[in-house]
Structure 1
């Protein structure tokens, strides 16, 4: 046998194979294989930029204005991690259904930390990642590109769900760091380093399906620093302000292609603000966040606002909720135009499906209120950049549901309302593609 192998000169081949195998096993985590045929089969997309109070599509020489009709489906990465191959169809189905409704932007979680993330946590401990879950996020990003949907990827939760800042504090305590309060998340150097390490891992990630780095991926609309940042004490407001400035600058240092936003709910902190009275109650000013000061930070490209009339003013009748939402929208759009000089995107607007008035769903009445505000702003080239409704599901993912969630197809009136908004915003963006909303 030895003589046969020598004669056929197979030893060098076997040796070369062994060396290549050894190199792969030792360095496979640093190797990235691109799949040009995958990228070729994905639609061309450009990045989104801003020009003062307006979003712009940068995929053509005209830099056409871009107004957003979109939605939230926070669960895409988790569902993608739980399923494999064809079983991931619900993720693809959700993105397809959103696109079929003319919606162009989806906001979703790009975090799942420690014990809060369970078996499908992305970040197991600071700087240590579950590659299986990272590949699940890769799939979400690829499928968004396939359906020409752009993603707002949120990087950490203020709330405990999916780990959030509570998990970061626990990691710090476990190595002997003195955590005086939950607000230490925004001030402790070690915890800030944990967060930066996570951000760097996400932004420099190379998609395992396409070979495209996240920082170069046009299907990503923006990075969101945190979902609904709040402080335990209003005295921590300066700390939060400094944290936003530091982290926004850090994101920009790694990625100049994408927009950055905060993830604010939009509460006014100062009684000197002319729009302070639009807060849903005095409690809103005690959370340490400040819509005007926070959003004015130079590396924040657009302001984010949430709206939940049913939760924020629960005892009010529908008519009062409509009046409140109308004033809330006017206040923030006005501040975007006159003070911030930035677009304002309502990144969460949620409403119940109960019926209170003339056989109409509360959800439809409230959605139409905010949709009309955005459309009227778009016609005047104002700062109202768009709305992302909370939240859409498809059949089979009811476990991710909350009181504001719904499957779009089960509410024909809501579906028609969404389609109508998609069409008129397309026309406002000077998109000449035919649009049908019946």
Structure 2
């Protein structure tokens, strides 16, 4: 009789194992597609972000290292840990790199050629963000050399013999480089996530795209090279080289349109669902003379960038600003830096209301722990002043749309730390301050009734 019982049990056991396998294999995919219909895209209504009919003010952070850590199995868990930690503080948006051009763990190995392993790492980041109810602001290229940046594009063009100049600033006017960048944009925006099955351009987990991190073009202080592409001050040799490359001077004339308009228009032609920003630091240029006195010193007006002018494109949905007074000033006291922060933020909020009529998101801010007079309590005061400006703007329905602290990371990641980095749980006062800001903004928008904030903020009324 025993063999007969075993014979009856084995098929049932096999069925259960098979059913369990199917369930666990397809559960996440079902949840993601269910989430796809439930999660709304963040949109813009005048000077406010809105989602599902309600205003959204951002309390978030930067963790630029997500994709890099997701490539390797031994470090991938930190992405989930950081997203979970952010969610527990009520943080709603994380800004991270969606680029790595050339070099170690490169997403784009060479122009138009991608490492599928690294793309799958970015897929994982987006999927994990959705699991933790965090949206992503994805930056598309770096003005700086870290992770390749515009200098890598220039190097590629120069190596292939089609580059107009070896200057990094040719990124903004070289037609070959523009094609490289557009090819990358196409591959990224139309990427089908290997985890969720959703194309990036259709995924509301992505809060917005950032065209370039901290664009500068110091070789042309007028700002025309960044704004206009290509400029008409090439040398005769470069004009001739461009003619040979294009084989038709009419192409040269036809492509003389604004670089920002061209690139943002190209993105919008592929993806009209997501918000888009330039990625500016917020400095005013020589064509905004009334605002030059707001700059920290003289040098920012010579960087070839301008907050108002560069943010005015019809394809730009919101403006970005960074806040680093201890790096921008020389020999200013901490108290003076705090005064500057308020003036700096209020000026840009006013620009958002009157000039741009768009939200203004402070996408990076930090206070260095390497300052000679640094004390840990200074960071709390610095953060609180920044949070207060945004909170007051939110209460008055003005354009100050939120903040993203630079940067948060987890224990055991000291190699990715810089002078601004914070491990949230290691600094209790900062941890509580960020939660408090999440709750304050939740009250303003009426989102305190949402499950996550209701539980987090119930004892903070």
Scaled to the shorter chain, the TM-score interval is 0.7 to 0.9
The TM-score with structure 1 as length reference comes to 0.87
Match of residue 247 from structure 1: 263
After TM superposition, give the deviation of residue 179 of structure 1 in Å.
3.4
Match of residue 89 from structure 2: 101
Separation in 1, partners of 2:330, 2:374: 20
Report SS of the residue matched to 1:275: helix
Report SS of the residue matched to 1:161: coil
After TM superposition, give the deviation of residue 238 of structure 1 in Å.
1.7
Separation in 2, partners of 1:358, 1:203: 42
Separation in 2, partners of 1:386, 1:347: 8
**Which ranges of structure 2 fall in alignment gaps of 5 or more residues?**
1-25, 228-257
Report SS of the residue matched to 1:339: helix
Report SS of the residue matched to 1:426: helix
After TM superposition, give the deviation of residue 430 of structure 1 in Å.
1.2
**Which ranges of structure 1 fall in alignment gaps of 5 or more residues?**
1-32
Q: Does residue 47 in structure 1 map to residue 32 in structure 2?
A: no
Separation in 2, partners of 1:271, 1:255: 31
Residue by residue, what CA displacement relative to the aligned partner does 1:132-183 show, whole Å, maximum 9, x if unpaired? 0000000000000001101000000000010001100010001112432222
Separation in 2, partners of 1:172, 1:110: 21
184 and 424 in structure 1: CA distance in 2 versus 1, 3 angstrom threshold: same
Match of residue 132 from structure 2: 147
The answer as to whether partners of 2:171 and 2:177 remain within 8 angstroms in 1 is yes
Separation in 2, partners of 1:413, 1:227: 30
The answer as to whether partners of 1:34 and 1:212 remain within 8 angstroms in 2 is no
Separation in 2, partners of 1:407, 1:330: 29
Separation in 2, partners of 1:257, 1:248: 13
After TM superposition, give the deviation of residue 70 of structure 1 in Å.
0.4
The correspondence of residues 300-339 of structure 1 with structure 2, limited to 5 A, is: 300-339=316-355
Separation in 2, partners of 1:424, 1:235: 41
From 67, 79, 83, the counterpart of 2:69: 79
The correspondence of residues 31-430 of structure 1 with structure 2, limited to 5 A, is: 36-40=29-33, 42=35, 44-57=38-51, 59=52, 63-83=53-73, 87-115=75-103, 118=104, 120-180=105-165, 181-235=167-221, 237-241=223-227, 242-270=258-286, 272-353=288-369, 361-430=377-446
Separation in 2, partners of 1:157, 1:413: 32
Match of residue 13 from structure 1: none
Residue by residue, what CA displacement relative to the aligned partner does 1:299-322 show, whole Å, maximum 9, x if unpaired? 000000001011111421110010
The answer as to whether partners of 1:183 and 1:236 remain within 8 angstroms in 2 is no
226 and 272 in structure 1: CA distance in 2 versus 1, 3 angstrom threshold: closer
281 and 235 in structure 1: CA distance in 2 versus 1, 3 angstrom threshold: closer
Separation in 1, partners of 2:159, 2:45: 45
188 and 413 in structure 1: CA distance in 2 versus 1, 3 angstrom threshold: same
After TM superposition, give the deviation of residue 432 of structure 1 in Å.
3.1
Deviates more, 1:43-52 or 1:300-309: 43-52
Runs in 1 of length 4+ with deviation above 3 angstroms? 33-36, 40-44, 353-360
Report SS of the residue matched to 1:392: coil
Separation in 1, partners of 2:363, 2:375: 28
Give aligned pairs, total: 397
After TM superposition, give the deviation of residue 39 of structure 1 in Å.
1.6
Match of residue 250 from structure 2: none
Report SS of the residue matched to 2:87: helix
Residue by residue, what CA displacement relative to the aligned partner does 1:315-367 show, whole Å, maximum 9, x if unpaired? 21110010010100000000000110000000000113479999762211111
The answer as to whether partners of 1:318 and 1:356 remain within 8 angstroms in 2 is no
After TM superposition, give the deviation of residue 419 of structure 1 in Å.
0.6
After TM superposition, give the deviation of residue 131 of structure 1 in Å.
0.2
Separation in 1, partners of 2:335, 2:341: 10
After TM superposition, give the deviation of residue 232 of structure 1 in Å.
2.7
After TM superposition, give the deviation of residue 209 of structure 1 in Å.
0.5
After TM superposition, give the deviation of residue 37 of structure 1 in Å.
2.3
After TM superposition, give the deviation of residue 270 of structure 1 in Å.
2.6
The answer as to whether partners of 2:83 and 2:132 remain within 8 angstroms in 1 is yes
Separation in 1, partners of 2:433, 2:184: 38
Q: What is the Cα-based RMSD across aligned positions, in Å? A: 2.0
After TM superposition, give the deviation of residue 91 of structure 1 in Å.
0.4
